[in-house]
Structure 1
Amino acid sequence: MQAPKRKRSRLACKPCRERKRKCNGDEPCITCSEWGYECYYETRQRKPRTAKQPTPDTQPELQPSPQATVGPSPIDPDQSGLVRRLEANSGAAFVRKLGLKIDPAKAPKLNLFGWNIGTRKLSAQTVPNSALSIIEITSLEHMKSLAQVYFDKADPCYGFIDRRNFFERLDARWLSPLVPDIYDSVLSGVAAIGCLFSQRHATVTELHLIRTANCCLNTHHLSGPPSIDLLTGWVLRSFYLRLTDSPYSTWIASSTLMHLLEAAGLHPETPENSVLPHSAICDPDLQRRLVGVAHHLNMWTSFDLGLSRVSFQKNDLPLPPSPKPGDYTDEILGLLPISVSLDPGKAKDETDLTSILAKLLDGTHTQPPSVLAQCNLALCILRRIHTQNMDISPSLADRVLILLKNGLGCASSMVLDCSPWHQVANVPFQIICVLLTMDTRSSLAILPEAMRTLSLVASTYDTEALAEAYSTACLLVLLHQQRRKDDIAVLGEALNVHQQGRPVESPPQLNPSSEEYSWLGALVADLPGLQRVDLDQFLNADMMDPSSFL
């Protein structure tokens, strides 16, 4: 028996036609409702057709091909699966669909809530208007103290700068105040991140440092392959944007960085016998770290936005860096192979996703930023599993909940330590959404701690982005609670109808045989928690009043 053909709309709305998406012809259509687009249709005036009799001198009119007909084209199954994977990788799309599932009328709009701590408020009202020379911004001693904060808190996670070389060049810069250099972008970027990890509110010094770093990078003229100094400055810029700025700004900066890496010959590495640009002179381990951090930033920003990442034809990932004492960059970059496997262009079935999740949970992550990166990756896999309507085993679900609870504790400790990594806001918010999606008693039991963690982040860094993220999380929980109340009301009404009807005859008394009674007694003996139960009272009890369940 052939399956019935799917009905297609004869006319698609304007937003769906522009985005080449499926449209069901309603007003508003399903696609616009889910994505928050303004749904509208173009008004067209149709010309009356006049019947023409074919003559020998005229050629018959060609019938329009199926491709030329007005309306949406058939959806390619592969393309449909790609869209689902894009939505699953994107935290914004997942939150939107979660809200639509709970209450379409009150669902939050499409937005990356809690993507980072957001733009912090100035402690003073003075805003810099022009870039200053780095030696005019602050003193050498202050620069060294800010750099020390960077190397204590940020460098162990993203260790791609030679610490000794940095301080040597910092001293040399103050000895030559009239000689600006592209390395000023590195000095300014490190100091700006040091401000971010030492002050809960933005300062004028931090804004001056960022403006100077951006000016150095934007005005630098490339007369050949990019240098290591330029690439390091761009990594710091992408890093700072990921912590404080919008997703689109970060995506553009990280994509530019990836192209600069390719132009410099750092990745993929150019063979020695090639006439193309070779990799710049750099320590091989630092090179792998720099390329790995750039991949990490570009990949996850593109996943969150549902946009394409910058990838190369071959050797898509650099070699893992060498472990160093007090450094856990290798833990972060060790997650890159799993991250690449979640690329929306690569389809994954249930076995693949569950095995990837189990492998991820087996990994060792010791420091809070590394644990949060592990949590973020696990949340993405869980979104993919939910989008494909799959289930995971109870044992695997318990391991996931243990990891998520550990991530909440790491986020709280990082906030108290003034370490505003982007995951301190992103992971707790996404954990709340995933817990609501799992909707089990064990998952909902973690929900209060997740809300407290997000509240702590929002109150510590008083930004509009975090206030919006926290209010959205409260809205999702409230909608979920209201739906439960509505379900309870429906069940109560069903029981009221039962009580108002004819009285139900009492069920016949059960008189178990001696064989059945001995079997049940053996079961009670095997379960210590049931040994205090009076079997005679249990077996001979009358039916309970249904109202006692309410």
Structure 2
Amino acid sequence: MMNSPKRKRARLACKPCRARKRKCDGQDPCITCTQWGYECYYETRQGQATPDPPARSALAPSTVEPDPSRLVQRLEANSGAAFVRKLGLKIDRTKAPKLNLFGWNTGARQLSSPLNAASALPIIEITSLEHMKSLAQIYFDKVDLCYGFIDHHQFFERLDIRWKSPLTPSIYDSVLGGIAAIGCLFSQRNVTITELHLVRSARSILDNHDLSSTPSIDLLTGWTLRSIYLRLVDSPHSTWIASSTLMHLVEASGLHPDSSSNLLPSIQCDPDIKSRLVGLAHHLNAWTSFDLGLSRVSFQNNDLPLLPSSKPGDYTAEVLGLLPVSVSLDPGRSKDDIDLTSTLSRILDGTHTQPPSVLAQCNLVLCILRRIHTQNLDISAGLAEHALALLKKGLDCARSMVMDCSPWHQVANVPFHIICVLLVMDTRPSLAVLPEAMQTLSLVACTYDTETMREAYSAACLLVLLHQQRRKDDIAILGEALNTHQQERQIASPPQLDYSAEDCSWLGALVADLPGLQRVDLDQFLYADMINDSSLLGGSE
């Protein structure tokens, strides 16, 4: 047996690899940072020079000439609105859906009569303490399991204290109102006056807060809850502004990883809560920015937080574990076919157990598939089958969440974009999933009868209809070609041809090169006398 060569250690590891105790190959950028989307950089030690960068990195990133067309492609692949618009234009330019983020969430629910324009009520005047506790329990049972960044026991303690001191409002009232409002959303399919008052109260507290010093952890928690609620029911731009504000507050607080600023002292916070809060801020801002095609907020030191510790019944780490790959898909970063296919395979192999986490996984897979399509890349049949299996699992999770009154934004977003990707894949296995995807989106639209869902379902039906019409047009053209052949046969009978495997090897190669014919059984046509079958040609002899 040959002795395996001894692994050479890098003379100098980059700072992100040293901080995370990961293997570093000493390149610039190193393979670990490239795969995980970290900003790779080195520190010069006294008496030791940094390793020479390879020739391909001789120029600083700012001096490399960008490729505008490829950047636009990546931007359109990340943005669901642009991708759907291009899909419609490709099928039928005259009837394509308008540019819109269809199915971005289940939509805003409306009261039968509008709420008056009175000022926001104090939190203790909106509902009772018992009702607040029941709404908070719904939040912790349904939302906190995958968006866990609040200490349960501390929350209920502070809730009791607040009701015992009704004349001492604080910024924490935005946390109380935010949690209760989301609890309303996850317990009532129709909006209530209580929910709207809670939302208004929390928003008023955050908007009127005088930020004269380092942002507190209570302020950051309140803004995170506001961003989550907006992502569930409000418009994309409102959510983007709120999530961007949250990211700026995180930076001002010094909570982002390895903050080196001495202008503002970092606030004291439990390390696990810190990593969860900062991770969710990145998660919300990144995906909202991708959907809108707008810039996401990034820090001077753009390291991502470490994954939170695992806890029984908590699955936040599953969602935040997708963040490094999500950030690596930023439109400003190019990824070739090897990067995309290997990333897709790695995400498909990930373990996600809870429906919200599975839908987050599906959303990332859909984004990668769109990028693969816009770059005209191919994936293996096995990888495509694996992706379709996950998408089917996502549809099942979406239906279960609708029945459980858990209107996560991906309940609407993922089924709609599954439909779009299935049409783009345009294979028999992908189209076979289409009826289930349409049924799932229909269920969401019937359960949450909002303008947002009606638009999403109508757009999906239009895309399928346009795709069907294009197929009918193709069939008509093929039928006309066969009819022409039949007419020529009536004038002069063609000579009988003796087909053999060797003589027709070129035909097999041709079929392999035509995507639309790759599923055709060539032997069926060559050896079953079907070419001479009048029924195939649409007439009788």
Q: TM-score range by the shorter chain?
A: 0.7 to 0.9
1:542 Cα deviation from its structure 2 partner: 7.4
State the match for 2:225 in structure 1: 236
After TM superposition, the structure 1 = structure 2 runs for residues 295-444 of structure 1, keeping only pairs within 5 Å, are 295-444=282-431
Are residues 105 and 213 of structure 1, via their aligned partners in 2, closer, same or farther at CA, if it must alter by over 3 Å? same
- Alignment of 1:464 with 2:451, yes or no, is yes
State the match for 1:10 in structure 2: none
Amino acid at match of 1:90: S
1:278 Cα deviation from its structure 2 partner: 2.9
Cα deviation per residue 1:520-548 (whole Å; 9 max; x = unaligned)? xxxxxxxxxxxxxxx9xx96857432542
Structure 1 counterpart of 2:216, from 227, 243, 257: 227
1:129 Cα deviation from its structure 2 partner: 3.0
Amino acid at match of 1:548: L
After TM superposition, the structure 1 = structure 2 runs for residues 98-109 of structure 1, keeping only pairs within 5 Å, are 98-109=87-98
State the match for 2:178 in structure 1: 189
The TM-score, its normalising length taken from structure 2, stands at 0.80
Amino acid at match of 1:338: V
Structure 2 counterpart of 1:166, from 155, 160, 166: 155
1:295 Cα deviation from its structure 2 partner: 0.4
1:130 Cα deviation from its structure 2 partner: 1.9
After TM superposition, the structure 1 = structure 2 runs for residues 18-29 of structure 1, keeping only pairs within 5 Å, are none
Structure 2 counterpart of 1:276, from 232, 247, 263: 263
Structure 1 counterpart of 2:71, from 78, 82, 86: 82
State the match for 2:441 in structure 1: 454
Are residues 401 and 511 of structure 1, via their aligned partners in 2, closer, same or farther at CA, if it must alter by over 3 Å? closer
Are residues 123 and 139 of structure 1, via their aligned partners in 2, closer, same or farther at CA, if it must alter by over 3 Å? farther
Amino acid at match of 1:189: G
Q: Which has the higher contact order (CA 8 A, sep 6+)?
A: 2
Bigger CA radius of gyration: 1
Are residues 508 and 355 of structure 1, via their aligned partners in 2, closer, same or farther at CA, if it must alter by over 3 Å? closer
Q: Distance in 1 between matches of 2:104 and 2:232?
A: 9
1:340 Cα deviation from its structure 2 partner: 1.0
Are residues 126 and 540 of structure 1, via their aligned partners in 2, closer, same or farther at CA, if it must alter by over 3 Å? closer
1:316 Cα deviation from its structure 2 partner: 2.6
Cα deviation per residue 1:404-434 (whole Å; 9 max; x = unaligned)? 0000000000000000000000000000000
Which sections of structure 1, spanning at least 5 residues, go unmatched? Answer: 1-75, 513-534
Q: Distance in 1 between matches of 2:177 and 2:529?
A: 78
Q: Distance in 2 between matches of 1:210 and 1:455?
A: 29
Decide which moves more: 123-132 or 277-286.
123-132
Q: Distance in 1 between matches of 2:125 and 2:211?
A: 26
State the match for 1:136 in structure 2: 125
1:313 Cα deviation from its structure 2 partner: 1.9
State the match for 2:32 in structure 1: none
Amino acid at match of 1:450: A
Secondary structure of the corresponding residue to residue 67 of structure 2: helix
Q: Distance in 2 between matches of 1:210 and 1:498?
A: 69
Secondary structure of the corresponding residue to residue 451 of structure 1: helix
Q: Distance in 2 between matches of 1:389 and 1:176?
A: 63
Cα deviation per residue 1:189-242 (whole Å; 9 max; x = unaligned)? 000000000000110000000000000000000110000000000000000000
1:127 Cα deviation from its structure 2 partner: 4.3
Percent identity among equivalent residues? 73
Contact 1:383 1:434 in 2 (8 A): yes
The TM-score, its normalising length taken from structure 1, stands at 0.79
Are residues 289 and 503 of structure 1, via their aligned partners in 2, closer, same or farther at CA, if it must alter by over 3 Å? same
Cα deviation per residue 1:493-531 (whole Å; 9 max; x = unaligned)? 11111111234335156799xxxxxxxxxxxxxxxxxxx
Aligned Cα root-mean-square deviation (Å): 1.8
1:280 Cα deviation from its structure 2 partner: 1.2
1:124 Cα deviation from its structure 2 partner: 5.2
Cα deviation per residue 1:7-29 (whole Å; 9 max; x = unaligned)? xxxxxxxxxxxxxxxxxxxxxxx
Secondary structure of the corresponding residue to residue 445 of structure 1: helix
Aligned length: 449
Contact 2:483 2:537 in 1 (8 A): no
Are residues 237 and 545 of structure 1, via their aligned partners in 2, closer, same or farther at CA, if it must alter by over 3 Å? same
Q: Distance in 2 between matches of 1:197 and 1:411?
A: 14
1:325 Cα deviation from its structure 2 partner: 0.4
- Alignment of 1:210 with 2:199, yes or no, is yes
Cα deviation per residue 1:19-71 (whole Å; 9 max; x = unaligned)? xxxxxxxxxxxxxxxxxxxxxxxxxxxxxxxxxxxxxxxxxxxxxxxxxxxxx
Decide which moves more: 458-467 or 81-90.
81-90
Q: Distance in 2 between matches of 1:510 and 1:335?
A: 54
1:312 Cα deviation from its structure 2 partner: 1.2
1:276 Cα deviation from its structure 2 partner: 3.0
Contact 1:157 1:329 in 2 (8 A): yes
Are residues 224 and 478 of structure 1, via their aligned partners in 2, closer, same or farther at CA, if it must alter by over 3 Å? same
Secondary structure of the corresponding residue to residue 548 of structure 1: coil
- Alignment of 1:545 with 2:530, yes or no, is no
Contact 1:128 1:208 in 2 (8 A): no
Secondary structure of the corresponding residue to residue 446 of structure 1: helix
Q: Distance in 1 between matches of 2:499 and 2:149?
A: 75
- Alignment of 1:199 with 2:199, yes or no, is no
1:108 Cα deviation from its structure 2 partner: 0.7
Contact 2:530 2:536 in 1 (8 A): no
State the match for 2:169 in structure 1: 180
Q: Distance in 2 between matches of 1:540 and 1:317?
A: 62
Q: Distance in 1 between matches of 2:77 and 2:528?
A: 53
Are residues 177 and 396 of structure 1, via their aligned partners in 2, closer, same or farther at CA, if it must alter by over 3 Å? same
Are residues 349 and 406 of structure 1, via their aligned partners in 2, closer, same or farther at CA, if it must alter by over 3 Å? same
Structure 1 counterpart of 2:484, from 476, 493, 497: 497
Are residues 509 and 180 of structure 1, via their aligned partners in 2, closer, same or farther at CA, if it must alter by over 3 Å? closer
Contact 1:435 1:444 in 2 (8 A): yes
